[in-house]
Amino acid sequence: MTKVDIVERINSELGFSKKEALDLLEGVITIVKTTLESGENLKLSGFGNFIVKQKADRRGRNPQTGEALTIEARRVLKFKPSALLRDAINT
């Protein structure tokens, strides 16, 4: 499903114009993005949790050369679906 498909569904199911549906979707995506960029976790009841985790530096190696290197610290995004979403997918 693409952004255009979501806009079409909002248009048909909720009665918003396509322009309004696109603006609504873009607004929600912007809020989600800025929340996660700031390092905050995001919980959508009935859907799941987006969790920003900090990973520390760690030792690794180049698999082609075997050379040891340091993988730098970074933030990663994890998603944990809610029980309702898991149940809906598995029925």
pLDDT tens column, 45-77: 999 999 999 999 999 999 999 999 999 999 999
pLDDT tens column, 12-30: 999 999 999 999 999 999 9
Same domain, 28 and 18: yes
CATH code of the domain in which 52 resides: 4.10.520.10
C-alpha distances in angstroms, 41 versus 25, 35, 73?
20, 7, 19
Strand, helix or coil at 60? strand
The answer to whether the CB of 40 falls within 8 A of the CB of 69 is no
Same domain, 86 and 70: yes
Whole-model pTM? 0.77
Same domain, 50 and 89: yes
Strand, helix or coil at 55? strand
